[in-house]
Amino acid sequence: MAKALSESQLRLIAAIRAVPRGRVASYSQIASNAGLPGRARLVGRTLGEAPASLKLPWYRILRADGRIALTPGSAGFDKQVRWLTREGVVVHNGKVALAQFGWQRSLDELLWGPPTSVKRKT
């Protein structure tokens, strides 16, 4: 039998599901949003334990600096890059510009609008 998810993990899952398509959030942000500040590691653990049937947007969760947490070059890493790219998130050298795609909007976005309108033209 698979180990049951803890109450904390259920809350983290809810926070993960709340990340909008085309945007990304950090492990620490998810933890805080779930009311569990400082528990970023539990987020990573949860993503690995959560059953695939839940179809969580695991690929939208990145490290605090915007880098993909999985080992560069690994199958999971490549898969994450593909999923992100597929929904419009630009990944360069395994890193995403949080100022542009981060869930917590930066001042720039508030002034210039969401990513979709920003990436129009260069």
The span of 1-9, 82-90, 99-107, 110-118 binding DNA (CB under 7 A) equals: 1-9
At its nearest, how many Å lie between DNA and the CB of residue 121? 26
Window 42-81: residues binding DNA (CB under 7 A):
42-45, 47-48, 58-59, 61, 63-65, 69-70, 76, 80
Is residue 94 within 8 A of residue 70, CB to CB? The reply is no
Q: 29-33, long-range: CB within 8 Å, 24+ apart, which pairs?
A: 29/103, 29/104, 30/61
At its nearest, how many Å lie between DNA and the CB of residue 115? 20
Structure tokens at 105: 């909007």
At its nearest, how many Å lie between DNA and the CB of residue 35? 13
15 φ, ψ (degrees, to nearest 5): -70, -35
Structure tokens at 63: 């490290």
Q: Which residues face 26 on adjacent strands? A: 62
Residue 10 as a binder of DNA (CB under 7 A): the answer is no
Residues that bind DNA (CB under 7 A): 3, 6, 8, 26-28, 38-45, 47-48, 58-59, 61, 63-65, 69-70, 76, 80
